[in-house]
Amino acid sequence: MGNSRDSHEWHEDKVIHFFLNYVFPGLGLHGFSRLYRRVSNVRKKGDETVKILMLWSFWLMVLPTAVFGGNLSPQEFSVVVRPAARLQLPGVAHGATDPNAYGDVDCSSPAHWDADTMYMFYSTGHPFRSSGRDLVNLSRPSKRVVFDNEAGWKMGGRWIESTYKADDGLLYMWYHNEPPLSPDRTAPRIGTMVSTDNGLTWRDLGIVLDAPAGSNKPASANKYFVGGNGDFAVVADRQKEYVYFFISTYNRDISEQGMGVARMSLTYLREPKGKVLKWYRGQWDQPGIGGHVTPIFTAHIDWHRADADAFWGPSIHWNTYLECWVMLLNRAKDKDWAQEGIYVTFNRNLSDPSGWTKPVKILDAVELEKSRWYPQVVGTSAEKHETDKLAGKIARLFVAGLSKWEITFLKPGEQPAAPQ
């Protein structure tokens, strides 16, 4: 290549690829050997500048990590779950007027802050909202929110699963919808809405995620679903470039059952139809509506068998202590969705769906109450505006709106503090 323009462009591409894929995301201990091989295998002919840049970057990462322990691998993180004072979210009070009444929760309960007020949503087929100065002081009973298209709506219940407060002040949410297909079963899909008053009223922007046509299994043994995409979590990446959707998929084809991923540029929040892309075979190129998925965690046993076994219903937050994304999962063990336990998995980089660690159980089903579903971590610091999407070293663990536990996140070799 010599000093040709092609050689210069090749050098530039090589450097950009290297920094994007190795320097910025952080490697961790398991990445050093891979990086060293990458540096060593750089072509010698015409590559001396590139090789020098890579070597300098390699040692700039290796030395601080070796000496100070930075960029730890998510594979080495762990959690400790301990009993704590009982804390129950207001939930959906179903018309109760008693300010001390607790309601039901039938999905994850997303939260956001506006100035010094925390807002939180609960759903049991239709969402309710409460607010307060912190997690412990949320208003009771919660208030029913209003959708702009409720009149004449016949497409089934809508559950708010995730929210995002944009920099322009608008609040976006994504809902799980269950259109009726038979008296007692459905195939869920995912839609989005926008609010100008912190979620008391909403304007529906339409469905953005759905399973491929013909992917339902009407003869399914599953108690609730014959197909569809639903039971999900949505978070914006740290760079505020994309929102990522982690979706439970119930297609008839077991190769597409499990935990799928999709994403959408934040520039399309106001007009999201047709802008969500699913991750399939290593690429973000399948349409949100009707596209295929490659699950990051495939079902162990077909969702449509009586002995189904699969992860589902994720919640996800950025952990400021670990500097890592943390996901909690349910694990269903039969057609009735019997809870086997709550699991945790870690990933530093949302754009790498293959980077999630093997899920590890943190709570057994016998330790749970009520529905035993919908685990989520919620940060407790009002000063840091922590929510279900942001937490630190110590937070509360909720299941179906009830917390009896404190959860502590640990780095490799770290021991939890002694109980007080």
What is the pLDDT at residue 417?
82
What is the pLDDT at residue 49?
54
| Per-chain mean pLDDT for the chain | 87
- The yes-or-no verdict on residue 38 having pLDDT over 80 is no
- CA-based angle 235:240:374, to the nearest 5? 5
What is the pLDDT at residue 390?
98
Q: How many whole angstroms separate alpha carbon 237 and alpha carbon 325?
A: 10
CA distances from 324 to 1, 320, 330, 362, 409 (A): 41, 7, 20, 18, 11
Looking at the chain, the whole-number percentage of residues with pLDDT higher than 70 is 82
What is the pLDDT at residue 137?
97
What is the pLDDT at residue 75?
80
283-287 vs 171-177, strand pairing mode: unpaired
- The yes-or-no verdict on residue 130 having pLDDT over 50 is yes
Looking at the chain, the whole-number percentage of residues with pLDDT higher than 90 is 76
Cis peptide before 141 (omega within 30 of 0): yes
- The yes-or-no verdict on residue 84 having pLDDT over 70 is yes
Greatest CA separation found in the chain? 80
Quick one: average pLDDT of 146-163?
97
Describe the crossing of helices 32-40 and 48-68 by its angle, rounded to 10 degrees.
Answer: 160
What is the pLDDT at residue 161?
98
Reported confidence tier of residue 33, pLDDT bands at 50, 70, 90? very low
Q: How many whole angstroms separate alpha carbon 152 and alpha carbon 204?
A: 14
- CA-based angle 130:134:140, to the nearest 5? 30
- The yes-or-no verdict on residue 13 having pLDDT over 60 is no
Lowest average pLDDT, out of 95-104, 137-146, 260-269, goes to: 95-104
What pTM was estimated for this model as a whole?
0.83
What is the pLDDT at residue 16?
42
> Residue 217 contacts by C-beta under 8 Å, 6 or more apart in sequence?
226, 227, 252, 304
Describe the crossing of helices 5-18 and 48-68 by its angle, rounded to 10 degrees.
Answer: 10
CA distances from 331 to 110, 184, 228, 314, 337 (A): 21, 22, 18, 10, 8
Reported confidence tier of residue 2, pLDDT bands at 50, 70, 90? very low
Class of domain 75-410: mainly beta
- The yes-or-no verdict on residue 24 having pLDDT over 90 is no
CA distances from 207 to 247, 266, 289 (A): 14, 17, 8
Q: How many whole angstroms separate alpha carbon 253 and alpha carbon 125?
A: 28
What is the pLDDT at residue 62?
41
What values do phi and psi take at 382, rounded to 5?
Answer: -70, -35
- The yes-or-no verdict on residue 12 having pLDDT over 50 is no
The model's pLDDT over 332-385, given as tens digits with 9 standing for 90+, comes to: 999 999 999 999 999 999 999 999 999 999 999 999 876 689 999 999 999 999
- The yes-or-no verdict on residue 7 having pLDDT over 60 is no
Q: Which residue has the higher pLDDT, 111 or 371?
A: 111
189-195 vs 402-410, strand pairing mode: unpaired
Lowest average pLDDT, out of 55-59, 258-262, 416-420, goes to: 55-59
